[in-house]
Copies of this chain bind each other. A is one copy, B any other.
Amino acid sequence: MTKKEKEEKIGKKKITFKIDKEKNFSKWFSEIVAKAELADLRYNVKGFVVFAPWSVLVMEKMYDAFEQELQKQMHLPCYFPSLIPEENFKKEAKHVSGFKPEVFWVTQAGNKKIEKLALRPTSETAFFQLYSLWIRSYKDLPFKRYQRANIFRYETKTTHPFMRSREFYWLEAHDCFASKEDAEKQVQEDIAITEKIMHQKFGIPSIPFRRPEWDKFAGAIYTIGSDVLMPDGKLTQQPSTHLLDQGFAKVFNIHFKDEKGEKQFVWQTCYGPCISRIFASLIALHGDNSGLIYPFFLAPIQVIIIPIFTAKNKPTVLKKVKEVEKKLTKDDISSMIDDREIAVGEKFYYWEMKGVPLRLEIGEKELKGKLTLFLRDEKKRKRVSLAQIKKEGLALDRRLRKKADSAFEKAIVNVKNFDELKTALKNKKIARCNFCSIDKKGERCAAVVEKELLASVRGVRADKKEKAKGKCIFCSKKAGCVVYIAKSY
C-alpha cells in the first residue's frame, strides 16, 4: 500500500475518481472495480475472483428481480447438485463436444480416486435426468423449473471481473412443452423477461439476436442472445434463450402421454441470465468519470444523508438528519447518515464514486422547509420535499435508461460494403448490413469478419422483422437477411 492509499484508507485524504470513461473504458472499468471495492482479483486461483459487498448487495437485488418475474411466469425454483456424472454429460453428442474443453473435473474424494464428476458448466444434463422421471402426462406440461447457481467454465479467453471469469453467478431455467409451438412461445416470453427486468428495471437496453448456425448453443435448434452495447463499442451477450432440438429429450428419454394416450417427446427451452455479467453491464453503462452510478432501484444505499453543521447548530442538524432517515426507512427507502469525522467535500466525492443515486445535504438552510437533493447522474442540486424523494429516484432511473437507449441507437449504422464496415467498426459502431445467410452456407462470409476484422456476425433481430434487399456485402450473392456486425467480448 502506498502512503496515499494508506491515508485514503484511514480517511485523511479525499478519495476521488477521475478517469475518462469514453477514452479509456478498459482502464476506467478496472479502476472502478478496485476503487469502489466491487471485487478483489488477488485470489490465488487464476480466473477466480472474490466479489465484495458493494457488488454482491446489488447482484442479490438483481437475483430477486429476475426470480420474482420467473415465478410470476410459473417457474418454480429448485436446487440441483453442482456435480454431474460424466455419463450424463456424454449422452448428448453435440453438447459434450461443445462444453468438454471447458469442464473442471472432480476425480478424487479424500484419498480415493472416484468416477469423474463434472463441475457444472451448465445444468441441462443434471435437470434432464430427473425430468425423465417427473414428466409423465400432457397434464404435467408446461413444466418449468429454474435454479440460481454458480457455474464453472475453464475459460481460455482473457478473464475480466464480472464479465468473464471461471466461476460465475447465474439463473438457469429449463422448461418442457408439449409442442414446438409452445416452446417457441416460451422463447418469446424469455425475451420479454429480459426486456422487463434488464431494460425496464436496471436500465440496460439489449437487442435480441437470433444467432447464426455456427454460433448457437450446443444442442439447440436456435439460440437468441440478447446483446448489450458496452462503452467501448463491443457487444456482450446477456441472457440467452435456446430452443432445443429433441436430442436431449430423446437421449434422456423425457416423454409424456398426450391426450390420445400416445407417447411423445417433450420440446424444451432453456434461459440463462448471468447475473455477474449483467452487473458488469450495469456499471459500465451507467457509470461516469466520477465513478459508479447505481440505479435507484438497485442501489444498496439509495439516499446518502450528509449533515452539514457548525459547532452551534450541530444538535439541531443531527436531530433533523435522524428524523429524515427515520421517515425514509418508513417509506421503504434505504438510506444512511455519513457521520464520519471527515470533511463534507470528501464525503461528497466518496459517495459519488460509490454511485449512490441520491444525496441529501442537510444543514441550517434545510432545518425548515425543503431539503437539498443532489442527483448523482446530472450532478445537479435541487430543493425538494421529503415526500418527493421516491419520485426523484424513479425519475433518475428513467434518465439512466433513456441515456443508455440513445447511446445504443446512435451506435447502429448501415454499411453497404466492406470498407464502410471497416470504418464503422473502427469508430466503435455496430454495423447493420445485408448478408447472404445465417445458415451454414453463410459461415465462410462470417469467417472473413472474424479473421480480418476481429469482429463477429451477431445474427438477425429476433424482436422485429428486417427484410434484406440487394446483395451480401461479402460474397455478393443475393442477401437473405439483415445482420448486425460488431466487436464483442
Q: Hey, which bits of chain A sit against chain B, CB under 8 A?
A: 1, 6, 9-10, 40, 42-45, 48-53, 56-57, 59-60, 76-85, 87-88, 100-111, 116-117, 119, 126, 129-130, 133-134, 136-137, 139, 145, 150, 152, 154, 167, 169
When distances are taken between beta carbons in the complex, the residues of chain B under 8 Å from A83 are 45, 48, 104, 152, 167
A-side binding surface: helix, strand, loop or mixed? mixed
Query: Could you pull out 21 A-B pairs where Cβ atoms are within 8 angstroms?
Result: A9-B136, A42-B130, A43-B81, A43-B126, A43-B129, A44-B85, A45-B81, A45-B84, A49-B81, A50-B130, A51-B78, A53-B78, A82-B152, A83-B104, A100-B111, A104-B106, A104-B117, A106-B106, A106-B107, A107-B108, A110-B154
A288 to B154, CA, bound (A): 48
Residues of B within 8 A of A81 (CB): 43, 45, 48-50, 167
Most buried by B among A78, A116, A145: A78
Is the Cβ of B77 less than 8 Å from the Cβ of A50? no
Interface contact B50-A80, CB-CB below 8 Å = yes
- Once the chains are docked, how many angstroms separate the CA of A447 from the CA of B59? 48
Q: Contacts A79-B51, A145-B53, A150-B82 given; indicate if A10 touches B110 (C-beta within 8 A).
A: no
Contact A56 B85 (CB under 8 A): no
Give the 5 A-B residue pairs with the shortest CB-CB distance, closest first. A53-B76, A48-B81, A109-B154, A105-B108, A51-B79
Q: Which residue of B lies closest to A154 (CB)?
A: B109
Specify which chain B residues have a CB less than 8 angstroms from the CB of A137 in the assembled complex: 9-10
CB-CB < 8 A to A45: which residues of B?
81, 83-85, 117
Residues of B within 8 A of A130 (CB): 40, 42-43, 50
